[in-house]
Structure 1
Amino acid sequence: MRTVRTRFAPSPTGALHLGNARTALFNWFFARRHGGSFILRIEDTDIARSLSSFEAAICDDLKWLGLVWDEGPDIGGGYGPYRQSERLSIYSGKAEQLIGEGKAYRCYCTKDRLQELKAAQAAAGAPSRYDGRCRELVNPPSVEPSVVRFLVPRKEVAFTDLVHGPLKFDTSAFGDFVIIGSDGVASYNFAVVIDDAMMEVSHVIRGDDHLSNTPRQLLLFEAMGLKTPAFSHVPLVLGADRTPLSKRHGEFSVKGLRDGGYLPEAVINTVARLGWDPGVGAVGLEEMSHLFSLDKLSRSASAFDEGRLKSFNKEAIQKRSGDGLAALMGPGAGSAALIDALKGNASTLKELEGLLEPFTTGPRIGEAEQAELSEEYARKVLSSLLSELERATSLDEGSCKSVIEAVKNATGEKGRRLLMPIRLALTGRHEGIELARVMKLLGRDEMIRRLKKSEK
């Protein structure tokens, strides 16, 4: 096998969604498994939509996931530059070379003419493809804007995809395609071929949505005499609506999950299993890279499973220390001991913050809650609880249950009429962890303070 060099090449036109994160993971795994290099390349030739802020956000998300690249726009390397916008002169030079060799030509067809051609082909039930009108122009216009088209030879393109196996494409399905636009910017297919060859990329691992680009790219590799990488096309990741996951599924971007309180190890373990089964439970990046194999990738599309993500995240939260979680959540999160006591009930950091709030900020009792606490039975329950607590010298979870039992015997209340007034007065909420645990965590003095405050 040639020296392994993989690349992740996002377009900085939006947030990093989970389908792209999986592509980055699989490329990183493969490079690490084979002692190779993982390259970050920014494909920013879409001038109108590419933003430096998106590039920075993508890099930040990759680092948050734990993916470190060996070469890239921020750290350089021996094959740069690593932004396509900084390589435009390379592409134009290669295009001129193809024109000089009779393998490409300038096309002067207007947008109107191309639209008319497309409409006529659609009306005839024919595939949309350029008809080659400018292929052999004798007297081309001297001032008209033009594009550069690659002259597609009529042949069958065959290759072996490392996921799908042997594949064949007939070039009659597409016409001579644009490699340099009228603005002088290289097309995706042209730029990516030149970059992959010049950066000596050995393996291209990407989504199935690029499968139709592969025959065009193979023709370009051949025409320029460049070494072809091995291709692996991974079936797409689907959202809950069963459509391919994309930037419009904003809640399932890496940033969306970060903001939603998910930990990187949970995201990694969920995303890596979209089309691949490592055969083990939750593991780290390095262990996953040792297990990764292209021949174990599924040929079928995978649906993102939020339930699996929450399960992995709950496990990840459990494994983190209270001090570590406090640092993640920031000032005001609560003590490490309190966090350790509550973290087992949370599936996300957001949920954990919600569980902590009644202990760190006190109960927030609105008008509706105050009306409930003003009921005669509720006042009787709280008065009895206060008396029991004032008599108690110390409290653990067992004695807290004894206190509740004593209040039950003294008031004759049970079930919701017994427990809800206590929970509301102590936490301001109707739901939460077991009431005896709430009482133990608050402690005797804090409960007395809160009960007296609720009386006012």
Structure 2
Amino acid sequence: MLSFCLKSRYACKVIQKPYKNLKTLRWNSTTVRTRFAPSPTGFLHLGSLRTALFNYLWAKKCNGKFIVRLEDTDQKRKVNGSEQSIYDLLQTFGLQWDEGPITGGPFGPYEQSKRLHIYSEYISKLLASGKAYKCYDECSTQSPKTDKNPYVVRFRSEEGPITFVDTVYGKITIKRNTPKVLSDDFVLLKSDGYPTYHFANVVDDHLMGITNVIRGEEWIPSTPKHIQLYKAFHWRPPTYSHIPLLTNPDGSKLSKRQNDAHVTSLLEKGFEPMAILNFLALMGWSSRQKNDVIPLPQLLELFSIDRLTRGSCIVALEKLQFLNKHYLRERMTDPKQLEQIVAQMQKSLKEKYPNSVSRISDSEYVCRCLLLLHNRVRTLPEFVDLCGYFFEEPSQNTIQHRMPLATNVSVLLSRLLHEFQLCSWQPQVLQTMVSDVASSFGIPLGKLQSLIRQILCGSVPGANLADTIHLLGRDTTLHRLEAYNRTIS
């Protein structure tokens, strides 16, 4: 029993398990055509991107076509800039459509606001067949029924339950209240002349030859409306696959108003497009792979709608951070990609540390910092915060050494300064020298390393100490040690 259906006025019952053998489905006998149909009433949500991804993967897996269609009939809620943002983001994620806005295609236009004449034609057919009727002034008998007055067109709904087959949930029967009430006769055409989502959706899917509809499970209660429309036109419905909802860790639905639910927000926080796609692919689809890291070419090879899963999917950003760390490190192995990342980081570093422009302008130095810290960085903005001590002197007010009481810290630092001035500036040499100083003073190596790290780096955790000292350079290292020694002498 689907919980969200039970909470509505529908009674929804799954009466058969999903198909195990998908050879009987429609896509086996025709060219697969999937679609992503966003509405420009806001900016791309994680759930919408996942829907686009699954439709793209299935079309490409079957050597079919991936269509983008803009469902912009709700003109009052249209948000300026959201339409172009959707197109730009799909291309950012490599989900290039075969037909749709900008690219065109044989079934255009692909914006519903430009297809009003098509909807008018099919409304007329339903009216002529008696499957639909005009409703004036909320169907009041006191209003004169003339086309000069505003009216909507309603569909004459069928009596009884509606049954359809879903590749995820199997055969589903949804019951409605009986006897039939007026509210069951859903609106097809609004008084402003624009079609409702349900009507335009069905007409467009049929005329564009859509074979597979992969969408969120929140649309299951609406599917009977679509099934009735297909039947009224004597059209064959597409194959439906309803994917589970995205939820917060507490089980609540992932709201479009949440910042992390927006794709642009995650990109701005430094998450890689491929990490986000990989993250979304794991929610609502079983890869049957031990490794969660699945690049797009491998996703195309492995994806199948018979592995779409039931049940809500928790959006855990910890998993996204893990994946992002992998893809970020992978990008750094490509010299061209690394060069682009360094240029991007230089811009951010100059904003964060305006007093260190000369050192930040040294691309090689920034690159070495990035490579040194890459094992600790999950997103590029984290690097900007972690690498601060390579560009600005850290505060010494928070330094707390834990040396044995008998240790003269000033004498210890003087010895270090002397050794740092004379030794060869190589990581292994620096590591050996610090170890020898700790031994000669009879103090644990870890305590001495902790003191040096606090003086050179502040409280920010970093990479291997010898590598850090080597990258900071002799002059910077001596300057920071001397400055601190003066404060305790």
TM-score (norm 2): 0.79
Map 1:364-443 to 2 at 5 A. Answer: 364-365=394-395, 368-369=397-398, 381-396=412-427, 398-408=428-438, 418-443=448-473
Of residues 168-177 and 411-420 in structure 1, the stretch that sits farther from structure 2 once superposed is 411-420
3-state secondary structure, aligned to 2:184: coil
Contact map agreement 1:381 1:422 (CA 8 A) in 2: no
Counterpart residue type for residue 273 of structure 1? L
Q: Match of 1:120?
A: none
Q: 1:217 aligns with which of 213, 226, 243?
A: 226
Corresponding position: 1:327 with 2:332? no
Corresponding position: 1:50 with 2:61? no
Aligned-pair CA distance for 1:21:
1.5
Q: 1:424 to 1:22 in 2, by over 3 A?
A: same
Q: Match of 1:81?
A: 109
Of residues 168-177 and 182-191 in structure 1, the stretch that sits farther from structure 2 once superposed is 168-177
Q: 1:302 aligns with which of 313, 316, 326?
A: 313
Q: d(CA) in 1 for partners of 2:381 and 2:37?
A: 32
Counterpart residue type for residue 229 of structure 1? P
Aligned-pair CA distance for 1:237:
1.4
Contact map agreement 1:420 1:430 (CA 8 A) in 2: no
Q: Match of 1:198?
A: 207
Q: 1:445 to 1:233 in 2, by over 3 A?
A: same
Counterpart residue type for residue 323 of structure 2? F
Of residues 67-76 and 443-452 in structure 1, the stretch that sits farther from structure 2 once superposed is 443-452
Aligned-pair CA distance for 1:172:
4.3
Q: 1:206 to 1:379 in 2, by over 3 A?
A: farther
Q: Match of 1:117?
A: none
Q: State percent identity of aligned pairs.
A: 35
Q: d(CA) in 2 for partners of 1:307 and 1:73?
A: 36
Q: Match of 2:15?
A: none
Q: d(CA) in 2 for partners of 1:33 and 1:142?
A: 49
Aligned-pair CA distance for 1:409:
5.1
Contact map agreement 2:386 2:461 (CA 8 A) in 1: no
Counterpart residue type for residue 351 of structure 1? E
Q: Match of 1:178?
A: 187
Aligned-pair CA distance for 1:179:
1.1
Aligned-pair CA distance for 1:387:
2.0
Map 1:219-298 to 2 at 5 A. Answer: 219-280=228-289, 281=291, 282-298=293-309
Q: d(CA) in 1 for partners of 2:322 and 2:443?
A: 38
Gaps of 5+ in 2: 1-28, 350-364, 402-406
Contact map agreement 1:395 1:444 (CA 8 A) in 2: no
CA RMSD of aligned residues (A): 2.8
Counterpart residue type for residue 280 of structure 2? V
Aligned-pair CA distance for 1:363:
2.5
Contact map agreement 1:362 1:427 (CA 8 A) in 2: no
Contact map agreement 1:17 1:250 (CA 8 A) in 2: no
Contact map agreement 1:7 1:39 (CA 8 A) in 2: yes
Counterpart residue type for residue 278 of structure 1? S
Q: d(CA) in 2 for partners of 1:40 and 1:379?
A: 69
Q: 1:387 to 1:138 in 2, by over 3 A?
A: closer
Provide Cα deviations, 1:32-54, integer angstroms capped at 9, x if missing partner: 11100001111122212222411
TM-score (norm 1): 0.85
Q: d(CA) in 2 for partners of 1:369 and 1:325?
A: 35
Provide Cα deviations, 1:159-184, integer angstroms capped at 9, x if missing partner: 21111111122454661011111222
Q: Match of 2:43?
A: 15
Provide Cα deviations, 1:250-269, integer angstroms capped at 9, x if missing partner: 21322122112211222122
Contact map agreement 1:149 1:179 (CA 8 A) in 2: yes
Of residues 173-182 and 62-71 in structure 1, the stretch that sits farther from structure 2 once superposed is 173-182
Aligned-pair CA distance for 1:430:
4.1
Contact map agreement 2:134 2:154 (CA 8 A) in 1: yes
Counterpart residue type for residue 61 of structure 2? R
Aligned-pair CA distance for 1:78:
1.0
3-state secondary structure, aligned to 1:340: helix
Provide Cα deviations, 1:3-50, integer angstroms capped at 9, x if missing partner: 100001111222222211111111111101110000111112221222
Aligned-pair CA distance for 1:407:
4.4
Q: d(CA) in 1 for partners of 2:186 and 2:282?
A: 36
Of residues 191-200 and 234-243 in structure 1, the stretch that sits farther from structure 2 once superposed is 234-243
Counterpart residue type for residue 207 of structure 1? G
3-state secondary structure, aligned to 1:48: helix
Q: 1:379 to 1:217 in 2, by over 3 A?
A: farther
Contact map agreement 1:152 1:171 (CA 8 A) in 2: no
Counterpart residue type for residue 275 of structure 2? A
3-state secondary structure, aligned to 2:383: helix
Q: 1:138 to 1:258 in 2, by over 3 A?
A: closer
Q: Match of 1:356?
A: 387
Provide Cα deviations, 1:391-434, integer angstroms capped at 9, x if missing partner: 212221x3222333344356666578644542233224343233
Gaps of 5+ in 1: 111-132
